[in-house]
Structures are given as C-alpha cells and as structure tokens.
Amino acid sequence: MNRIDQRFAELKAAGRTGLIPFVTAGDPSPPAMVPLMHALVAAGADLIELGVPFSDPMADGPVIQHSSERALAKGVRLAQILGWVSEFRQKDAATPIVLMGYLNPVEIHGYEKFADEAVRAGVDGVLLVDCPVEESATIAPLAAAGLRRIFLAAPTTSDERLAQVCSEASGFLYYVSFAGVTGASRFALEPVRARVAEIKQRSPVPVAVGFGVRDAASAAAIAQFADAVVIGSALVEHLVKSLLTRAAYAFLAPIRAALDAHASSHAA
C-alpha cells in the first residue's frame, strides 16, 4: 500500500487529524535538510511536503518565493532533493513524502525518468501546482509508477472542475482555504467547512486544508472538519530565523498538541 494511503487509514482509525508541514527543499540549509525532516516527524508530522524550488512559483506568496530563490541560489536541484529523500528513508520507512512544485522541472527531467527515480528514492506523491486536472494525462507516468497525484481545489473551483478533481485525485485532495497565494493570514472558516463537506460527499479521498494556517489555533479550527492540516509559510518563515531542527520542533509540536486535543475532546 502507498504510504500516503496507509497513513490516512491509520489517522482515520485513531480519530486523529493529520499534520502536514511544508518546507522548501534546501532552505535555509542544504546540509541540514535530512535532520530537519526527521525533526518534523519527531514534532508530530504525519506527512512531509517538500517544495521543489522553481524560479517562477506563481502560487506562492513572498515567504515561499524567497525561500525558493535562496534554495536555487545554493544550487538545489531535483536530483539533490531525491537524494535527500533517499537518505531520509534510511531511518524512516513510514512517513509519507510528497513533492510539491511545478511542471517545468519535472518536464525537463522527463516524466518517466522522474517517476522512476522518485519512487526509488522513496517519494509517495506529487503535487504539481500548474498542472490542471484537465491535463492529468500529461502526468500519467507518475500514477503508472505508483505515485499519488494530488490536485488542488479552491473556493473558485467550478462544480464541473471539482467533479474532475474528485475523480482524478489520489492520496489526498488539497483544498486551498481561499483564492490567493500562500502565506496570507486570514480566511473565513465556515465557507471552508461547507466546501470540504461538499468535497467529502463527492469523493472518498481524504481532504487536507492549507493556505492561511499559521498557528495552533487555526490548525485546531480546521481539524474540526478536515482530514489533515497543511502548514507552510509560517513554518518556512520561522525556520529562517532560528536553529533549524530545534525551531522545527518548537514550532510544530504545539500544533500537533492542539490537533490531538481536538481529537480527544471529539472522542469524548
């Protein structure tokens, strides 16, 4: 079974909400990348999203844009990222890894070659922000190799497109809490709750909610109705200012505790 599917099955059985941190691969320190990944797991991450640096990250706000620029300036490329995943797998064979990025680096690498190398390294899923569901055939080699193809849905997604996303998504569906770029700090909870409920009626695939999740309070609010919470910009911003592994643990652990507190109160 794919590690993403296995992890969400475990979370459902335990009545827990998944915690998915996003970090840009190689930022702020390439040598510290693998220790950082292990620190995220120690702090309670259920799945890790690794951002593949790209020169034109159109869906990302300033924090992740600058993070991507720093990683590229340090020479971080796809092959190196896959090497980090492979090294991570030497000590952690269970935590799912998703690569999140854009089509161009994968296209240049070659879809079949990328899929084969990603699977061998230990990657479990791929989210390509600029690959609309209508063009899912383009990345068919990824699914053929066993990678989960994760698609985005947003408040502006039409009913017709949402039906396609629900049909094509695997692993989990990433719901964007508002129309905009990553890193914004506010979103209206009730419209997100309603949209996630609608998605769950259409698809059995777990729903993760991201964009605008900045702390334990916002994560716990989303845990009321989502299968997982994604936190990116706030974590990336925090890591730049602090010692990596300690900062990762200190930032993520309270969020994990808030999600578990919600699960406990819900079970009671």
Instruction: Give the CATH number, domain containing residue 211.
Output: 3.20.20.70
Cα 214 to Cα 185, 219, 220, 230, 260: the distances in Å are 7, 7, 11, 9, 17
- pTM higher than 0.75: yes
Categorize the per-residue pLDDT at 184 as very low, low, confident or very high, splitting at 50, 70 and 90: very low
Name the residue among 87, 82, 122 with its Cα closest to residue 105: 82
Which of 49, 124, 227, 260 is catalytic? The answer is 49
| 109-113, 159-163, 225-229, 244-248, range with the lowest pLDDT | 244-248
Active site residue 49: yes
pLDDT at 180: 45
Told to judge if 124 belongs to the known catalytic residues of this protein, a careful annotator would answer no
Per the CB < 8 A criterion, the answer to whether 146 and 4 are in contact is no
Beta strands in 125-258 (DSSP E): 125-128, 148-149, 152-153, 173-176, 207-210, 228-231
* 267: in domain: no
Position 73 pLDDT exceeds 70:
yes
Q: Is the pLDDT of residue 86 over 70?
A: yes
Catalytic annotation, pick one of 5, 27, 46, 60: 60
In a domain, 12, yes or no: yes
Residue 131 lies in a domain: yes
**In whole angstroms, what is the distance from residue 100 CA to residue 52 CA?**
6
Mean per-residue pLDDT of the chain: 90
Domain assignment of residue 63, yes or no: yes
Instruction: Judge whether 265 lies within some domain.
Output: no
**How many Cβ atoms from other residues are within 10 Å of residue 121's Cβ?**
19
Considering its fold, how many domains does the chain have in total? 1
The tens digit of pLDDT for each residue in 108-149 reads 999 999 999 999 999 999 999 999 899 899 999 999 999 999
Instruction: Note the pLDDT of residue 173.
Output: 98
Count of all residues that appear for the chain in the document? 268
Asked if residue 266 belongs to a domain, the reply is: no
Instruction: Determine the average pLDDT of the residues in 63-91.
Output: 95
- Note the Cα 198 to chain centre separation in Å: 21
Residue with tokens 């320190």: 29
Residue in the structure block whose two tokens are 């602090």: 242
- Assign 187 a pLDDT band (cuts: 50, 70, 90): low
Look up the domain containing 120 and give its range.
3-260
Residue 54 maps to a domain: yes
Q: What pLDDT score was predicted for residue 186? A: 58
pLDDT tens digits along 170-180: 999 999 986 54
Does residue 253 form part of some domain? yes
Please determine, for residue 24, whether its predicted confidence score (pLDDT) is greater than 90. yes
Cα first-last separation, the chain: 31
The Cα 136–Cα 143 span in angstroms is 10
